Amino acid sequence: MKRIVFSVFAFIFLALLIISNNKEWMLRISDYRFASHSECLDPHKHGDLYSMCYMQKYKEPIAEPAFRKYNSARRNTDLYIMHDSYLQNRLSSTNFKGIDSLQQIDYRGGPSTIRLDSGKTSVLIIETAQRYARWRLQNPFYYINQLHIAGKEKSGTETAPPTASDADTSSWLNDLKGIVYNPNINSNLEYNLFDYSLFSPLRGWKSSLTNFLFGKPDNRLVISTDKQYLMLKETVDTAQNTGIYNHLAESELDSLTAHMQQIRLHFIQAGFKEVWFSVIPNTVTVVDSTYLPQHPGNGLMYKLKNKTGNLHIPYIDVYSLFIKQADKMYKHGDSHWSPAGKQIWIDEVNARIF
Amino acid sequence: MNTFTPMLFNSLQFLIFFGFVTCAYFALPHRARWLLLLLSSCYFYMAFVPEYILILFFTILIDFSAGHLIARSSGKKRKMWLIISIISNVGILAFFKYFNFLNTSLTGLLGLLHAGNPIPALQIILPIGLSFHTFQAMSYTIEVYRGNQQPEKHFGIYALYVMFYPQLVAGPIERPQNLLPQFREKHTYDSMRIRSGLMKMAWGFFKKVVIADRLAAVVDECYGNVAHHNGLTMWVAVFFYAFQIYCDFSGYSDIALGAARIMGFHLMTNFNAPYLSRSLNEFWKRWHISLSSWFKDYLYIPLGGSRGNWLKHVRNLLIIFCISGLWHGANWTFVIWGLFHAVYLLAEMLSGKLFPRLKLPSPIRVSITFLAVSLLWIFFRAHTVVQAFEVFAKLSEISLAQSVSLAMQTKELIFCVLLIAGLMLKERFLKNIALENRWVFYSVFGGLVLCCYLFGIYDQKQFIYFQF
């Protein structure tokens, strides 16, 4: 009898492991759950920070934002945006004045290759969140290696291009590994076992208790001084360069801007007419810059704006615009900007580039 | 080379994996269990860099063959097979762990002579748990050589001895006499043993996710920006690190011991309340016992131990602790950490000889030992020797006017101190819990699980000793 009970449990555990390892099955489960209970496999559905703590106060409604559209005459221009999660949701070419096409390249997913239309003007915008700007720009090849231009020499790249045989071998091996060892297995298991509306209050209570005891709902989160925003702890961490209180030496700033210049020249040589940079401020920078009153901020945002201005590096600054309407620029339970904040960025791109 | 996250004990993946292996273990007939354990250990190991399983099997094959060749040979040949086995084990360890360290040191040395180093650094990822399973494998061939262990006839069982998943990546470093026979024993379902294993695991999880990972926030903040913090805050970080590393590593060991115990395996105890030691000598009998006894049995005693003249004894201690430091990591910080331990031990011995009648009260001796161990951990935690000395300089700047300045709120800081006090009280006064009483078990176990849920930190922080 015991043996049968153990066999049943072993089967259940094994099935859980296999299902949670399999990408296709997870997508099917997610689709099914979304269709029947609107429970999709998307941690951003009500705010990525909300999904770390489930505190009702910070739950964002699901809404599809609509951005301003333009029907202005086309100016034979293609716009390319290298972006991170801030621009993860697709924009349309009509959101920008007079461009023929828009191509968004999420550089977090690995290198991409594009082909530029030599008959058109190509403009590139490289966007990054403030919290990762220092890390991403400390090596110019971070961006250079993420975007290859078909038909152009890969000059200045740090790594050799992969050979055809490399690609063949690594792809089947990686596919095999991906089947047996899914890097998202822990989040998939959590989704399959606990991510049900039934458990959300329990998680919310836990966060409220932790917040009551320790002043933070989760180890990865902090709450703004006015209690209105969840913020990532790494953005106020004094020890990490993701934090706004982490010391920024003048030499580091010089190095960051020098790398920006190097990246810009690389992509101009590769065929772009213009290369712009844009650093999106952390929530804390705009809404709660004195979160740690005893620590002076490192001033990365305005220092970057001034330094790039002095060096004539094209730079789209939204920091100075955001602080004028600080309370509308960010979501309350998400690490990203609100539709209003995003619209300001789009407007600024239109105003500066087109 | 594609790397993945290792399967951490403090992850859902491990809990489900563990549930499957344990249930399948009891569901299968005895003759098939070794195969289940071996295959699941392979899966566990391959979660990090799958290709490295080939290297592991290569060493397993060499040591398995060496064991048989040693048993069959006599005289010089016997020694030769042992040396071949040791060289292949140490060679792989040296290549993966020490090549870049030695190369960087050579670059520094040549730099002083205004010369360049033509040898490039290698882009290699250290196989997980390499130092642990290499030492465990070496103990097998040494014990066969010494005649204390018959060579294992079953290749699968020997492979399992090296790869048994609960202790594969961070020990305890087992001896063949203890572990190998257990794979042949038939383990039946025993509720008392399962309770005991579950309690051990729950306590290990508590130490890891509630204590160690909470203390890590303070330690990481201070060591991440030494210049930014005052002396008092740095002292807090130094003491917190002492408990972080203890809870992290002993937490891992408890989970390993508990997981193995549930299936009927008894692994050796790795920690015995080390911070209650009254001397450094005693500390090393209570801290990472499986490694300390390994060094004692296979290096210290063969070198002569404390026999012979005093100079020989000093030499032996310096060698052991230097190697122990290097075993932990390929960095000068670890070497210095080991050397200072040796120096302190020698000073302890010397003071014992000079002042044989001097007997300080136990609490004072415990405090002095804890202070010394905590200060020496600075070398262990610091990224560089320079940073370690920066920390020492900071500690010397302490003054009464200072206050603890951290991102962590005071309430949480007090909670951390209470956790540490609770841990020490438990270690001092509550060694065993009466598991015979079902209600006591359910209450304590349930309480620990609830605390892990409510106060645990789940940001997938690796165990510190995984890097070794």
Q: CA-to-CA distance for B174 and B180, rounded, in angstroms?
A: 9
What stretches of B38-139 adopt beta strand conformation (E)? none
What percentage of chain B carries pLDDT values higher than 70? 97
Cross-chain Cβ contact A216/B23 below 8 Å? no
Contacts of A189 in chain B (CB under 8 A): 12-13, 16
Mean pLDDT over the full length of chain B = 88
Q: Name the pLDDT band for A195 (thresholds 50, 70, 90).
A: confident
Higher pLDDT, A197 or A288: A288
Indicate whether B232 pLDDT > 60.
yes
Instruction: Kindly identify which residue of chain B lies nearest to residue A169, measuring between CA atoms.
Output: B1
pLDDT of residue A285 exceeding 60, the answer is: yes
- Report the alpha-carbon distance of residue B303 to residue B318 in Å, rounded: 12
Report the pLDDT averaged over residues B287-314: 87
| Cis peptide bond prior to B166, omega within 30° of 0 | no
**Contact yes or no for A214 and B224 at CB 8 A:** no
pLDDT of B164: 94
Whether the CB of A173 is below 8 Å from some CB of chain B: the reply is: yes
The answer for A 278-337 residues in CB contact with B (under 8 A) is 292, 294
**pLDDT tens per residue across span A21-77:** 888 888 888 778 777 766 555 556 788 888 888 888 888 877 777 888 887 767 788
Q: What does residue A23 show for φ and ψ, rounded to 5 degrees?
A: -60, -45
Q: Which amino acid is at B184?
A: R
**A137 band by pLDDT with thresholds 50, 70 and 90:** very high
Model pLDDT for residues B233-256, shown as the tens digit of each residue: 899 999 999 999 999 999 999 999
Contacts of A170 in chain B (CB under 8 A): 2
Test A13 with B223 for CB contact under 8 angstroms. Answer: no
Q: Which residue has the higher pLDDT, A15 or A40?
A: A15
Q: Where are the domains of chain A?
A: 77-168+235-353
Query: Can you give the pLDDT at residue A303?
Result: 94
CA neighbor of A344 nearest in space, from A297, A286, A292: A286
Confidence label for B461 from pLDDT (cuts 50, 70 and 90): low
* pLDDT of A161 over the 50 cut: no
Give how far A174 is from chain B: nearest CA, Å.
Answer: 7
Q: Indicate if the pLDDT at residue B66 is higher than 90.
A: yes
Contacts of B5 (CB under 8 A, 6+ apart): A183, B47, B48, B460
Q: How far apart are CA B15 and CA B166, in angstroms?
A: 12
Q: What is the pLDDT of residues B97-139, one digit of tens each?
A: 888 878 888 888 888 887 777 777 777 777 888 888 999 999 9
Report residue A168's pLDDT band, with 50, 70 and 90 as the boundaries.
Answer: very low
Residue B2 CA, distance from chain mean position: 26
Mutation for B interface: A219, A241, A291, most B CBs within 10 A: A219
For residue A154, pLDDT beyond 60 = no
pLDDT band at A174 (very low <50, low <70, confident <90, very high): low
pLDDT at A41: 54
Query: How much is the pLDDT for B4?
Result: 60
Q: Which of residues 125-164 of B touch A (CB under 8 A)?
A: none
Q: Compute the average pLDDT of residues B403-409.
A: 76
Cβ of B20 within 8 Å of Cβ of A215? The answer is no
CATH of A77-168+235-353, one of 3.20.20, 2.120.10, 3.40.50, 3.10.450: 3.40.50
* C-beta separation of B140 from B149 below 8 A: yes
Report the alpha-carbon distance of residue B298 to residue B292 in Å, rounded: 10
Cβ-based contacts of A10 with chain B (< 8 Å): 20, 23-24, 27
Task: Judge contact between B400 and B307, C-beta under 8 A.
Answer: no
Confidence of residue B464 (pLDDT cuts 50, 70, 90): low
pTM of the model: 0.81
Is the CB of B383 inside 8 Å of chain A's CB atoms?
no
For residue B225, give the chain A residue with the closest CA.
A239
Contact list, A181 vs chain B (CB under 8 Å): 4, 46-47, 50
Between CA B315 and CA B308 the distance in angstroms is 11
pLDDT at residue A102 tops 50? yes
Q: Does B336 touch chain A (CB under 8 A)?
A: no
What pLDDT sits at residue A159?
A: 43
Residues near B328 by beta carbon (within 8 Å), at least 6 away in sequence: B131, B334, B337, B338, B380, B468
With CA atoms as reference, the chain B residue closest to A296 would be B228
| Average pLDDT of span B81-102 | 88
User: Which positions in chain A touch B220 (Cβ < 8 Å)?
Assistant: 239
Contacts of A223 in chain B (CB under 8 A): none
Q: Render pLDDT for B337-351 as a digit per residue (tens, 0 to 9).
A: 999 999 999 998 888
Determine the residue type at B69: L
Determine contact: A114 vs chain B, CB below 8 A: no
Cβ neighbours for A296, distance < 8 A, ≥ 6 positions apart: A245
Q: Do B12 and A189 touch (CB under 8 A)?
A: yes
Residue among B5, B220, B457 minimizing CB distance to A239: B220
- The pLDDT value given to residue A266: 94
Whether B228 sits inside 8 A of A213 (CB atoms) is: no
Contact between A13 and B19 using a beta-carbon 8 Å cutoff = yes
Tell me if A220 and B459 make a contact (CB, 8 A cut-off).
Answer: yes
Lowest mean pLDDT, pick from B28-32, B108-112, B181-185: B108-112
pLDDT of residue A28: 83
CA distance B376 to B339: 10
| pLDDT, tens digit, 9 for 90 and up, residues B158-167 | 999 999 999 8
User: Measured between beta carbons, which residues in chain A are less than 8 angstroms from residue B16?
Assistant: 13, 16-17, 20, 189
Distance of CA A213 to the CA centre of its chain: 31
> Model confidence at A135, in pLDDT bands (50, 70, 90)?
very high
Q: Considering only residues 221 to 250 of chain A, which have any Cβ-Cβ distance to chain B shorter than 8 Å?
A: 233, 236-240, 246-247
Inter-chain touch A10–B224, beta carbons under 8 Å: no
Token output for A312 = 């004539």
Number of cross-chain residue pairs from A and B with Cβ atoms under 8 Å apart: 104
Is the pLDDT at B215 greater than 80? The verdict is yes
From chain B, the residues in CB contact with A173 under 8 A are 2
Is the pLDDT assigned to residue B292 strictly greater than 70? Answer: yes
The residue of chain B nearest to residue A239, with distances taken between CA atoms, is B224
Question: What's residue A306's pLDDT?
Answer: 94
* Catalytic pick among B229, B288, B328, B341: B328
Q: Please say if B328 is a catalytic residue.
A: yes
The pLDDT of residue B457:
85
Distance separating alpha carbons of residues A262 and B249, to the nearest angstrom: 45
Spell out which residues of chain A touch residue B44, defining contact as CB-CB under 8 Å: none
User: What is the pLDDT averaged over residues A168-186?
Assistant: 67
* Residue A113, beta-bridge partner list: A148
Alpha-carbon torsion angle B437, B439, B441, B445, nearest 10: 180
Token pair for residue B106? Answer: 């050579």
Query: Quick one: CA dihedral B213, B215, B221, B225, positive or negative?
Result: negative
CA–CA dist A330, A326 (Å, integer): 8
Residue A166 scores a pLDDT above 50:
no
Residue B458 — pLDDT band, cuts 50, 70, 90? confident
In chain B, where are the structural domains located? 12-186, 192-463
Q: Which residues of B touch A202 (CB under 8 A)?
A: none
Residue A228 burial by Cβ neighbours in a 10 Å radius (0-12, 13-18, 19+): middle
- Mutation to test the A interface, candidates B51, B225, B241, B262, most A Cβ within 10 Å: B225
Enter the DSSP assignment of A330: B
Q: CB-CB: which of B4, B17, B453 is closest to A183?
A: B4
Task: Please tell me which of the candidates B225, B412, B453 has its beta carbon nearest to residue A214.
Answer: B412
Does A181 contact chain B (CB < 8 Å)? yes
ipTM of the complex: 0.83
**Helical H runs in A215-338?**
250-269, 283-287, 300-310, 319-322
Of B2, B225, B415, the CB nearest to A238: B225
What φ, ψ does residue A231 adopt, rounded to 5°?
Answer: -135, 150
**pLDDT higher than threshold 70 for residue B212:** yes
User: In this complex, which of A3, A214, A233 lies closest to B409 when CB atoms are compared?
Assistant: A214
**Residue range B372-399: mean pLDDT, rounded:** 91
Residue with the bigger pLDDT between B336 and A151: it is: B336
C-alpha torsion sign, points B207, B208, B214, B219: positive
Q: Which residue has the higher pLDDT, B125 or A322?
A: A322
pLDDT at B121: 75
Distance CA A354, CA A347 (A): 10
